[in-house]
Amino acid sequence: MASASYRHPVIPEVAGLAHGIDTETKVSLIEQFYFTKFDERLTSLTAAQGKTCRWFLTTAEYMSWNDTDQRQDHGGFLWIKGHPGTGKSTLMKLLFEEKKLNIKHDPSRIILFFFFLARGTIEEKSITGLYRSLLHQLFAKQVDLRETLEWMTNDGAKSVQRNGWSEETLKQTMVHAIKKLGSRSLTIFVDALDECDTTQTANMVAFFEELCDFAEDSQVRLQVCFSSRHYPTVMIQKGIKITLEHQVGHKDDIEQYVKSKLKIGKSKPAESLRSELLEKSSSIFLWVVLVLDILDSEYPDSSGSIKKIRDRLKEIPQTLTDLFELILIRDGDNLDRLQICLMWILFAARPMKPEELYFAVQFKLDKECSGIWDEEDMDLDQMKYYVRSSSKGLAEVTRNKASEVQFIHESVRDFLLGRYGPQWSGIPGNFVGHSHEHLRNCCFAQVNVSALLDNSTLPNIINATQLRETISPFLGYSLHNILHHAKIAQQNNINQGDFLHHFPVERWTVLSSFLEKYEVRRYRGVTVGLLYILAEKNLADLIQIHPGRGSAFLIEDQRYGCPLFAALATSSNEAVEAILEAQLADTPTSSQLRIFWGQSYHDGHPWLKQKRQTEVIPRAKTIFERGFVFSQTKSVFHYIKENRVEVLIAFYLINVADVDFRKINDTTPLSWAVDQGYDSAVKVLLEKEGVDVNSRDHGFSTPLLIAVTKRNRAIVSSFLGKKGVDVNATNFGGRSPLCQAIEQEDAGIVKLFLTRQDIRVNYRTPSGIAPLDFAATGETPPW
């Protein structure tokens, strides 16, 4: 059992500030806290109706939490728990807004919030998103606290600026900021802990618990309020815990709601019916709302007799899960529409607007759908109604500015992804994989609509925004996510080979470029390769099955040049991994390239596993980043060698033909690798079929002689173990490798040569000098 009360070393020792971060870097670090949807969940929540939830403000637990004299008892920690659908998020919104109202004219009292959202972006459902949001709000409200970034060294700050904020650096920044609060107070509301990664929850709770302890030691007033479903595996030793469904005030709220909605009079049978409904609800507010919707749809304005309503109530299941199932099966109308609608809400790459969802569903149901929006035929309000009716009331459109489709509660998503998935979806097996293939097909149909590339269409459209928002609302989503859905399907063992074979690259390229806001991100013409697109978008699973995946270094007339560079420049690390592994397709497991790749992958290149982690290849990040543009006047090798990342060099050299390499560099790949001291790359090249181990450079030196000149015993040893190496080959000056080793007084290399039976120990240079004569006397050779 994980326990947040166990004192993990989650808060590092707070040292003195190390000054010296320049202003530009500091501004960049602060800007990286922000993400667009940090307040999306809070603003989309419906506010508490009337006087509901206000009872909580007078509970003994809440008043104790606000009482500084009782801080020793609870440490400033309050945790509200409850079953799914009890209304925890609504309550948290009220508590936040009430607290905000109370401190409106007091800048010394600071309030921060974060509402986790499982269906949201990575930032909205991750621990790092939580810390970034809190720091963004804190530094915006208290500008002087920005100076606490000085806890980092300048080099450390530059690293964060380049690679992004990590969880640990965010936590340390939080600690330093709280230390500097002084007499100011800070209150933090964090909602829906159950909607973040459960593997990180215990550590996060422990951090906040210790943060409260740290604030107390620093004489800073810090209050933390959490809400979540019941967490049997995460405990706190100090703090106030309150269970929502057990509170009298919560039950009173539900009772008042039932009275306002179920208008059946005040008779004893009516009161008895209300009591039965309340008892059956188990204090789950969502259950009550859904049941009253059912009763109202079947008995509008409570037109049925109390007996009929009571009989119907008895038929309605008591648990939320069973209630969801009843809602889905209570009529057999429009099942196809229901299935594809729920699939879209479940598996869309991002929350969809109602007009996007409408056309997404239509492309599945109507083979003649053009995707063109005729607002006189179907306006936005009708589309919002369509969302609710198609989902049988389980989805809604948010009332905030974003206006996005979502489930009425996150427990609906849990239900649909659970054991009932195969039943409602009509998919008996591999539910996730087949669902994404259905969504991919909808996108494919939209991209292939012929009217979009009609010569009379695009030129007459004022701009991309008009096309995306008012003419073809589903087009933008389709272009951006068709390959995403193919990727997820492939990950779930639905082979996408045939899809890639028929993918309309030219059409997709033209439309994507037209919709792209920034010119630099548009494709140049229509001659872009699919591998380049897959690499740029980090679609490793599709790269692995692409028939042309071996063309990693093929130059295209595009921004990043070749597919490998497109992956590197966009930090598409999984794509880099897939592209390089594709080069290993025909190599045996014992090959030097596989061995070198394995060592690099496991021991020294986390950049292939974790996005933006490229510190082990220090120059790669300065060359291959978003601002990188491939110059058609330079070669792939120019950039490869400039990076000085040996594993990339090895992959390139093993793929390039000697004759092509010599045309540009006046030497062979093998001689160049030896000259640069890339030992592993040399071992890789020595295994290459047909490699000329005795090739000559512009000075007529062999790779072996170059290795001796560079005093590289490891490479010399590798050559001496290679069949066909001419150990006596001389350069223009008549020097043999042994002559060179003796001249350099390199006894270790000389010994290596003397183990060879074919070494010419009595060899004399054109001037008649014998190297071993000088080796014997110890005199310096005269050449």
Domain residue extents for the chain: 23-246, 248-316, 527-655, 693-783
380 in helix, strand or coil?
helix
Amino acid 89 reads S
Higher pLDDT, 458 or 579: 579
pLDDT of residue 118: 86
pLDDT at position 45 is 86
Lowest-confidence region among 279-293, 456-470, 487-501: 456-470
Confidence tier at 451 by pLDDT (50, 70, 90): low
- 636-667 pLDDT, tens digit per residue, is 999 998 888 888 999 999 988 877 788 778 88
Span 274-299, average pLDDT: 92
Q: Which of 744, 743, 673, 655 is nearest to 714 (CA)?
A: 673
CATH fourth-level superfamily of 693-783: Ankyrin repeat-containing domain (1.25.40.20)
pLDDT at 82 over 70: yes
List, in order, residues 6 or more apart from 522 with CB less than 8 Å away: 512, 513, 516
Given a cut of 60, whether residue 8 has pLDDT beyond it is no
Which amino acid makes up residue 96? F
How far, CA to CA in Å, does 204 sit from each of 10, 78, 208, 236, 545? 9, 15, 6, 12, 39
Q: Residues 604-608: what's their mean pLDDT?
A: 46
For residue 7, the model assigns a pLDDT of: 41
Look at the alpha carbons of 261, 266, 269, 272 in this order and tell me if their dihedral is positive or negative: positive
Q: Are strands 395-397 and 405-407 parallel, antiparallel or unpaired?
A: antiparallel
Q: What is the pLDDT at residue 501?
A: 96
May I ask the CATH architecture of the domain 23-246? 3-Layer(aba) Sandwich (3.40)
Q: How many residues does the chain have?
A: 783
Predicted pLDDT at 9: 42
In this prediction, residues 563-572 reach a mean pLDDT of: 92
What's 240's DSSP letter? E
Beta carbons within 8 Å of 294's beta carbon, 6+ residues apart: 312, 316, 327, 330
Strand 77-81, strand 221-228: pairing: parallel
Average confidence (pLDDT) over 498-510? 95
Contacts of 442 (CB under 8 A, 6+ apart): 340, 344, 360, 361, 363, 364, 478
Average pLDDT of the residues in 257-286: 92
- Backbone Cα Rg of the chain: 34
pLDDT for 504 equals: 95
Chain segment 196-219, per-residue pLDDT in tens? 888 888 899 999 988 988 888 888
Structure-model confidence comparison of residues 771 and 300, the more confident one: 300
pLDDT at 69 over 70: yes
Low-confidence winner among 144-153, 241-250, 462-471, 706-715 (lowest mean pLDDT) = 462-471
Q: Rounded distance, CA 438 to CA 340, Å?
A: 8
Cα separation, 373 vs 461, whole angstroms: 14
pLDDT score recorded for residue 337: 94
pLDDT digits (tens, 9 = 90+) for 305-315: 899 999 999 99
Cα 754 to Cα 763: distance, rounded to the nearest angstrom: 13
Per-residue model confidence (pLDDT) at position 304: 72
Which of these, 186, 263, 265, 188, lies nearest to 227 by C-alpha position? Answer: 188
Q: Token match 């299941």: residue?
A: 317
171 within 8 A of 10, measured Cβ to Cβ: yes
Residue 546 banded pLDDT, cuts 50, 70, 90: very high
Query: Could you tell me what percent of the chain has a pLDDT over 70?
Result: 90
Per mean pLDDT, which range of 40-49, 181-190, 250-259 is the poorest? 40-49
Predicted local distance difference test score (pLDDT) of residue 385: 95
Beta-bridge mates of residue 114: 190
Say whether pLDDT at 177 is over 90: yes
Cα separation, 624 vs 35, in Å, equals: 24
Rounded to an integer, the average pLDDT of 416-431 is 83
How many angstroms separate the CA atoms of 194 and 200, rounded? Answer: 11
Mean pLDDT of 734-762: 87
**What is the pTM for the complete model shown?**
0.83
Residue 601 has a pLDDT of 66
